[in-house]
């Protein structure tokens, strides 16, 4: 798929703004995993909450680093020192900030370069940022469904949560 420089630059700006917003939300959802129940999973076929959080963070960062380097390398793993949801959320937040800085610095030619994903898909680098976002949002939705069942609270994602509305009702009643 060939893209003009103008198309690449527009997609780049949109992707960066979206990534900045969505990364903060992802960090909040990961941090909301109840520390006392990180092993919760809704089904035997599912990842537990902490594994899913690590997958979300690790995969997104691998895609973003691949955009910067021009090729994907999924061999880099999450540091073994990350044992709690808070650890993962802090690490993810710091690493995504580094990736954002690297992405901002990429020249248009590099963003237009085709990157191959395991011989299955090939797209301009800039489009892989959007792909990474969709992957994260998909799994973040799964993780947010874990939270209440695991004894936690769902943070605001795209608007007030059930807990937010209940608190507002309680405040109005007093």
- The predicted-structure confidence for 66-93, as pLDDT tens digits, reads as follows 999 999 998 888 999 999 999 999 999 9
Is there a contact between 59 and 132 (Cβ–Cβ < 8 Å)?
Answer: yes
At 138, is the pLDDT very low, low, confident or very high (cuts 50, 70, 90)? Answer: very high
Q: Which residue has the tokens 């954002």?
A: 100
Question: How many whole angstroms separate alpha carbon 123 and alpha carbon 29?
Answer: 29
| This model's pTM is above 0.75 | yes
143's CB contacts (< 8 A; 6+ apart) are 29, 30, 33, 49, 52, 53, 56
pLDDT at residue 1, rounded to an integer: 74
SS3 label, residue 106: coil
Structurally, at CATH architecture level, domain 5-173 sits in: Up-down Bundle (1.20)
pLDDT at residue 92, rounded to an integer: 98
Q: How does pLDDT run across 25-36, given as a tens digit for each residue?
A: 999 999 999 999
Residue 150 CB burial class (10 angstroms; 0-12, 13-18, ≥19): buried
Q: At residue 162, does pLDDT exceed 90?
A: no
Q: How does pLDDT run across 10-60, given as a tens digit for each residue?
A: 999 999 999 999 999 999 999 999 999 999 999 999 999 999 999 999 999
Question: How many whole angstroms separate alpha carbon 133 and alpha carbon 39?
Answer: 25
Is there a contact between 40 and 146 (Cβ–Cβ < 8 Å)?
Answer: yes
pLDDT at residue 66, rounded to an integer: 96
Q: How does pLDDT run across 83-130, given as a tens digit for each residue?
A: 999 999 999 999 999 999 999 999 999 999 999 999 999 999 999 999
């Amino acid at each position: 798929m060939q893209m003009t420089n103008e198309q690449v630059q527009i997609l780049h700006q949109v992707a960066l703004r979206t990534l900045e917003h969505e990364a903060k939300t992802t960090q909040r959802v990961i941090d909301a995993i109840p520390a006392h129940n990180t092993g919760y999973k809704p089904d035997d076929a599912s990842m537990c909450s902490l594994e899913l959080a690590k997958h979300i963070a690790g995969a997104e960062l691998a895609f973003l680093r691949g955009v910067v380097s021009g090729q994907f390398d999924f061999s880099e793993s999450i540091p073994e020192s990350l044992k709690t949801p808070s650890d993962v959320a802090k690490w993810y937040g710091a690493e995504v900030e580094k990736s954002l800085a690297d992405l901002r610095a990429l020249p248009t030619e590099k963003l237009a370069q085709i990157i191959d994903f395991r011989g299955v898909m090939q797209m301009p680098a800039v489009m892989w940022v959007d792909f990474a976002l969709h992957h994260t949002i998909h799994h973040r939705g799964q993780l947010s469904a874990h939270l209440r069942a695991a004894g936690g609270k769902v943070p605001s994602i795209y608007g007030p949560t059930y807990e937010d509305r209940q608190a507002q009702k309680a405040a109005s009643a007093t």
